[in-house]
Structure 1
Amino acid sequence: MKTTIQHNNKTIQVNLSKPIDISIPLSNTDENPIAWYILKPVIEPVHFGEWIGKVSSGMSSTNFNNISFNPHGHGTHTECLGHITREFYSINQTLKQFFFTAELVSVELEDQEMDFVITKESIEKALNGKKPEAIVIRTLPNDTSKLSRKYSHTDPPFLAEEAALFIRESGIKHLLIDLPSVDKEKDEGKLLAHKAFWNVTDVKNLNADARMDCTITEMIFVPDEVKDGSYLLNLQIASFENDASPSKPVLYAILNDEL
């Protein structure tokens, strides 16, 4: 089903019947990925005394579950600059558009004194002069263990401050990555890549040129069979008044060459 879309004065052709979901499902199983030293999500039926909100219990005509999770630590999530500021900012209030041109790039990690880092050079080479609205970063090597990895205390790879600055200066407004954070796990609270991308110089008193309408999406997974290149991104969030929301980024291959 080829569909023609007008986006930012450009004509884009996509096949809406072939979505590429790059989110990781959230479950209450041991297969759920975890970061930031927390336990797995909890999904369980409501209990009112002896009554259980579960059809198979024979007590309820509906399944009626409570869900307890952390968007940052339990799977694919999209965050706004409110993640690092003293003043409250909501992803639901700052993300107001949901379709973007995106470039999917695969990058090798560079070993820098026992840290594995995504460098500016690798991002610059992968983009090759392109300036999409969003960048989707797939780190190599890539395998399905990312769908269930336990990241706590493992010092995962991260994005160099210079790489985040280059992405910002390229005009890219939405950064998606298959890691639990763009920053180093234990960095003494510096959050260099977050700050560089959002152009936040003072988390206590937000500077006027901070990038309010830009987002970071972490813990995605892009299968190997999805080729690097240009896509239309549909960035879906739940309407949480919070700095971050679980999200469902979906890619659609662009069929024409106008971009």
Structure 2
Amino acid sequence: MLNWREKEIDLIATIKQNSRNYRIDLSKALDISIPLRGKASNVNAWYVDSPKIEPHISDGRKVKVSEGASVNFNNIEFNPHAHGTHTECVGHITKDFYSINKHLKKFFFLAEVVTIAPEKKENDFVISKKLMEYVLEGKNCDALVIRTLPNTKGKLTRQYSHTNPPYISEEAMRFLVSKKVEHLLIDLPSVDKEKDNGTLASHKAFWQIGGKIRTQATITEFIYVKNSIKDGPYLLNLQVAPFENDASPSRPVLYKILN
């Protein structure tokens, strides 16, 4: 019998992406998601109540081991767009139904992690095309992971409603489309201005609404990239829960490229 405690398991994997082979160490995942908590301190946006994780009530009693039940059996109430890391498809802004579970068909991508300090523009802070061109000069990637400055742990619990967070300009999004970036990840609640009268110009530009819609493209919001993760190329594993919905809670994971 093989004693696994005495055997060192090789977790180095080779993944072929864009006609190239990339070696990664599967034992050293860099999780850039924010976990969902049933507390008021859970990160929040879009003017909704906090998520709830509570024991199911059956015959007037909580189904909870500490209360005499044989199992813990929680109900979970949340909104994927408002309560943490989520990945959305074009169905977020279309009359026609598109499911993230149906349209995200690949899960590994060559990604570039970049750090950007949004620029002041009147009363807003904006990621402009100029900033995007600067951080992506000479680089090509399937997925772009944006860490904004300042980058503090406060992003894990921030209440964003009515705070006018930074956002990405429409021109910057069109630039990403021209660079063939198909998966955009950012540590903000939205790529658009919080209160824009429903214009959603940046979402529409990224998915090419009004043209040939990029149904394969995704936007992931509410990530958190620790300061210890350096800018540069990574392999991204974009994991989503199989919800038949325009958006799903997700767990994006980065791996350093060894070769």
- When normalised by structure 2's length, the TM-score is 0.94
Amino acid in structure 2 at the alignment position of 1:96: K
Partner of 1:240: 243
Partner of 1:70: 79
After TM superposition, the structure 1 = structure 2 runs for residues 94-173 of structure 1, keeping only pairs within 5 Å, are 94-173=103-182
SS of equivalent to 1:197: helix
SS of equivalent to 1:92: helix
Q: 2:152 and 2:60 mapped to 1: Cα distance?
A: 44
Amino acid in structure 1 at the alignment position of 2:163: T
* Structure 2 gap segments, 5+ residues each: 1-10
Q: 2:161 and 2:121 mapped to 1: Cα distance?
A: 20
Residue of 89, 96, 107 corresponding to 1:87: 96
Tell me if 1:193 matches 2:196: no
Cα deviation, residue 130, structure 1:
1.1
Residue of 23, 41, 59 corresponding to 2:51: 41
SS of equivalent to 1:23: coil
Q: 2:145 and 2:229 mapped to 1: Cα distance?
A: 12
Partner of 2:4: none
* CA displacement, residues 78-121 of structure 1 (integer Å, 9 cap, x when unaligned): 00000000111111111011000000000111000010000111
Residue of 2, 22, 30 corresponding to 1:20: 30
SS of equivalent to 1:164: helix
Cα deviation, residue 75, structure 1:
0.3
SS of equivalent to 2:148: strand
Partner of 1:55: 65
Q: 2:126 and 2:163 mapped to 1: Cα distance?
A: 14
Amino acid in structure 2 at the alignment position of 1:154: T
Tell me if 1:251 matches 2:258: no
Cα deviation, residue 63, structure 1:
0.5
Amino acid in structure 2 at the alignment position of 1:90: S
Partner of 1:204: none
Provide the alpha-carbon RMSD of the alignment: 0.9
Partner of 2:6: none
Cα deviation, residue 15, structure 1:
0.9
Q: 1:174 and 1:2 mapped to 2: Cα distance?
A: 25
SS of equivalent to 2:203: helix
Amino acid in structure 1 at the alignment position of 2:37: S
Shifted more, 17-26 versus 126-135: the winner is 126-135
Cα deviation, residue 48, structure 1:
1.3
User: Matched residues, percent identical?
Assistant: 57
Q: 2:61 and 2:198 mapped to 1: Cα distance?
A: 46
Q: 1:198 and 1:73 mapped to 2: Cα distance?
A: 21
Q: 1:70 and 1:191 mapped to 2: Cα distance?
A: 19
- When normalised by structure 1's length, the TM-score is 0.94
User: Displaced runs of 4+ in structure 1, greater than 2 A?
Assistant: none
Q: 2:38 and 2:135 mapped to 1: Cα distance?
A: 36
Q: 1:156 and 1:147 mapped to 2: Cα distance?
A: 15
After TM superposition, the structure 1 = structure 2 runs for residues 224-235 of structure 1, keeping only pairs within 5 Å, are 224-235=227-238
* CA displacement, residues 119-152 of structure 1 (integer Å, 9 cap, x when unaligned): 1111111112212000000001111100000000
Q: 2:107 and 2:171 mapped to 1: Cα distance?
A: 27
